[in-house]
A and B are shown apart, each in its own frame.
Chain A
Amino acid sequence: MPTMTVREALRDAMAEEMRRDEDVFVMGEEVAEYQGAYKVTQGLLQEFGPARVVDTPITEYGFAGLGVGAAMGGLKPVVEFMTFNFAMQAIDHIVNSAAKTNYMSGGQMRCPIVFRGPNGSASRVGAQHSQNYAPWYASVPGLLVIAPYDSADAKGLLKAAIRSPDPVVFLENELLYGQSFDVPEGEHVVEIGKARVHREGKDVTIVSYAIGVGLALEAANILAADGISCEVIDLRTLRPLDEAAVLASLKKTNRLVVVEEGWPVCSIASEIIAIAMEKGFDDLDAPVLRVTNKDVPLPYAHNLEKAAVVKAADVVAAVKSII
């Protein structure tokens, strides 16, 4: 299988879907001439021209709303946020205009739009540029929320997102953009709403998503050396959440740890715990643990940042505490 970076996989997904469907267009800050603030849209302007690769002013509320309107008008916009931190200015349109319209119209109005961009903490950029919004969007009925880890899922899920008739929040991660993974050749579309077992195991299930999957796999390797067998589940889609996959694994291992690069309170991890309590209680041999960032705005100082962000050692410690 050929390898490619997550960045290239995302670009290929957009390019392939734009070739396939003229109604697909990309808009956002610096997506065209600058080739993307993080170079994810590299080459798209050259292939598809300025009518389909649209540089916007710095006007998140405005262009998110404009994108939703364009989707209501029959187009399939891919709206890039330079990072999801800036989408807080646009969240009204993501939630009120995009997510609720199908329901409020009794099923008449489709809104086939993808909001995508890097999410979560990057490196040394301070609190305002370092937040994971997955739990925010995943709490909203009417949205699909996707957060891939590797290149294959980035490509396959972004293609599925662009084809979806419903609005999608597609959460990428700056630190993953440059990492390389295998990607199947040819047409590769991944079904939305299905988790993926990255590594099979029997003693404990580690559930995660996005960059947390890398930490979970790293921890699983370390723990294997100690004779502890971890099953690693990548949620991939956060709404709808693949409860069945989590519960099936819990049934097998009877222990659950959730790893999340984000705050602990009202998190995806909290949600997984609630699911385990409500639907997997009889399978639990130990309390479910959350392994997350610290509950503080992300600090800048190198040592403090390191202390605040979740790491593999935290996962190892959590697993050991319940075995």
Chain B
Amino acid sequence: MSPAAAKKAPSAKTTASKAAAAPSGLPKEKLLAMFREMLLIRRFEEKAGQLYGMGLIGGFCHLYIGQEAVVTGIQSAAKAGDAVITTYRDHAHMLACGMDPKGIMAELTGRIGGFSKGKGGSMHMFSVEKQFFGGHGIVGANVPLGTGLAFAQKYKNTGHITMTYFGDGAANQGQVYESFNMASLWQLPVIYIIENNEYAMGTSTKRHAANTELYKRGEAFGIPGVQVNGMNVLEVYEGAKKVIEHVRSGKGPYLMEVKTYRYRGHSMSDPAKYRTKEEVEDYKENRDPITTFRKYLEAEGIAGDAAFKKIEDEVKAIVNAAAEFAKESPEPEPTELWTDVLS
């Protein structure tokens, strides 16, 4: 049996409600922190959508709503100092890396207080301090970059690993397989995370992938793969924990396919005519990662209405403060045009 098949986790069809019954054994604080993280991402993205509608954010803006459990589950299992790299759908990854929401929102509005001084925008932000390496606009390109970060970690023997996130559509790029080959050949400490949200812009996985079981795509390179239900944060966490252990112990790269769904359009300008309202509603009503997790926490007696209200209020305050900052932070000075071309 191939490693990919052997490692196969619950199929994407595993329903959220069934999975939510799984006992986690995690401390209460950790569980609540995960809930809070997901809620922060959701509210942050909703606010970004509003600011976009008001004309305060320009260009492309790719929201993560619906996918919150993916990055939250994985980063909750990672260690501080591990590297993260992702695509243009990056706001949530930055939040999950602990980057200041103010700096992220101000980058969206193109202001000097943004992480890139307003010169990168929604798709291009970095934090060396938090080991967040972007934010990349070219589909697939962050995959060899993440592989290179892992190369540096191994070269310097840091004990850290790199989480390389990309989409189902990106999984068709040739450079992804060039990376798989080198990562396996050189046993690099990298986790490839395919966030399979079922669409690459308007093209469904069925229409773009000859074999839609994307977790098997490392097989030819000897990279084990696992498929995880990305609508359930605990399943993502448990899956990630095992994968991270494997990779950190020096056994080479691993591939995680996380089955998820984005509620909003591909970017802000997408009327989403390629899918039915019913399909979207089904996810929102029956499989929403935040609702599911909240129900679980309630059922386990970990939190009740008062606790959730407190978290909701805290998150709202953070997001509002970020939005205020993003509106008030000035535009970069005209002289910034010419700085940072070279160091």
Q: Are A97 and B340 in contact (CB-based, < 8 A)?
A: no
Q: How far is the CB of B173 from chain A (nearest CB, A)?
A: 9
Q: Does B325 contact A (CB under 8 A)?
A: no
Task: For A70, give its contact among B124, B143, B155, B341 (CB under 8 Å).
Answer: B155
Q: What are the residues of chain B within 8 A of A64 when measuring CB–CB?
A: 144
- Asked if A106 is at the interface of the complex by the 8 Å CB criterion, the answer is yes
Contact assessment for B182 and A63 in the assembled complex, using a CB-CB cutoff below 8 Å: yes
What residues of chain B lie closer than 8 Å to A104, measured between beta carbons? 116, 119-121, 124, 126, 134-135
Query: In the complex, how many angstroms separate the beta carbon of A56 from the nearest chain B beta carbon?
Result: 7
How far apart sit A74 and B154, CA to CA, in the bound complex (Å)? 12
Report whether A62 and B155 are in contact in the complex, using a CB–CB cutoff of 8 Å.
no
Contact B179 A66 (CB under 8 A): yes
A62 touching B181, Cβ below 8 Å: yes
Tell whether, in the assembled complex, residue A57 and residue B128 are in contact, meaning their CB atoms are under 8 Å apart: no
**Interface size classification for chain B:** 35 or more
Contact: B147 with A65, CB < 8 Å? Answer: yes
Whether B116 contacts A65 by the Cβ 8 Å rule is no
Q: Pick the contact of A166: B146, B185, B342 (CB < 8 A).
A: B342
Q: B277 within 8 Å of A by Cβ?
A: no
B contact residues around A103 at 8 Å (CB): 119, 340-341
Chain A: minimal CB distance from B18 (Å)? 39
B169 within 8 A of A: no
Any chain A CB within 8 A of the CB of B276? no
**A69, B144: Cβ atoms closer than 8 Å:** yes
Docked complex: B236-254 residues within 8 A CB-CB of A = none
List residues of B (197-253) whose CB comes within 8 Å of A's CBs.
none
Contact of A101 with B by CB under 8 A: yes
| B335 CB–A CB distance under 8 Å | no
**A73 interface residue, CB < 8 Å from B?**
yes
Chain B residues with CB under 8 Å of A166's CB are: 342-343
Smallest CB separation, A206 vs chain B (Å): 29
Residue pair A73, B141 in contact (C-beta under 8 Å)? no
Among A25, A93, A109, chain B packs the most CB atoms within 10 A around the CB of: A109
B78: Cβ under 8 A from any A Cβ: no
Residue of A nearest to B154 (CB): A51
* Contact, CB under 8 Å: A70 / B181: no
Contacts of B306 in A (CB 8 A): none
Distance of A93 Cα from B175 Cα, bound (Å): 11
Q: Is the CB of A66 within 8 A of B181?
A: no
Question: When the two chains form their complex, are residues A74 and B120 in contact, meaning their CB atoms are under 8 A apart?
Answer: no
Residue of A nearest to B147 (CB): A66
- CB <8 Å contact, B340 and A69: no
* B-facing residues in A142-192 (Cβ within 8 Å): 142, 144, 165-166
Residues of B within 8 A of A68 (CB): 144-145, 148
Residues in chain A near residue B136, CB distance under 8 A: 97
Q: Known interface pairs A65-B175, A105-B124, A106-B116. Does A92 touch B141 (Cβ–Cβ under 8 Å)?
A: yes
- Most chain-B CB neighbours within 10 Å: which of A59, A70, A106, A165? A106
A103 to B136, CA, bound (A): 13
Q: Which of B129-183 contact A (CB under 8 A)?
A: 133-138, 141, 143-153, 155-156, 174-175, 178-179, 181-182
* Shortest Cβ distance from residue A20 to the other chain B in the assembled complex, whole angstroms: 17
Supposing A75-B155, A104-B116, A166-B343 touch, asked if A109 and B128 sit within 8 A by C-beta, the answer is yes
Choose one: A75, A97, A110, A165; the contact of B145 (CB below 8 Å).
Answer: A97
Q: Are A144 and B116 in contact (CB under 8 A)?
A: no
Q: Are B126 and A73 in contact (CB under 8 A)?
A: no
Q: Which residues of A contact B38 (CB under 8 A)?
A: none
With the chains together, A66 CA to B133 CA distance in Å? 13
Cβ of A141 to closest chain B Cβ, rounded Å: 5
* Residues 44-96 of A at the B interface (beta carbon under 8 Å): 51, 56-57, 59, 61-75, 92-93, 96
A244–B115 Cα distance when bound, in Å, is 36
**Contact at B155–A59, with CB atoms within 8 Å?**
no
Question: What residues of chain A lie closer than 8 Å to B133, measured between beta carbons?
Answer: 69, 72-73, 109
Let me know if A102 is at the binding interface, CB within 8 A: yes
C-alpha spacing A105/B341, complex, angstroms:
10
**Residues A102 and B148 in contact, CB atoms below 8 Å apart:** no
- Which of A59, A62, A64, A74: most chain B Cβ within 10 A? A62
Q: Say whether A108 faces chain B, with CB atoms less than 8 Å apart.
A: yes
Shortest distance between the CB of A118 and any CB in chain B (Å): 22
With A62-B178, A107-B340 already in contact, the answer to whether A69 and B151 are too (CB < 8 A) is yes
Contact of B341 among A59, A62, A141 (CB under 8 A): A141
Tell me which of B121, B135, B179, B339 contacts A62 (CB under 8 A). Answer: B179
CB of A108 within 8 A of CB of B127, answer yes
* Residues in B whose Cβ lies below 8 Å from that of A165: 343
State whether B343 touches A73 (Cβ < 8 A): no
Q: How far is the CA of A102 from the CA of B146 in the complex (A)?
A: 17
7 nearest A-B pairs in the assembled complex, by CB-CB distance: A69-B148, A65-B144, A62-B178, A73-B152, A106-B117, A69-B145, A107-B340
12 examples of A-B residue contacts, CB within 8 angstroms = A61-B178, A63-B144, A63-B178, A69-B85, A97-B136, A103-B119, A104-B121, A106-B119, A107-B117, A107-B340, A107-B343, A108-B128
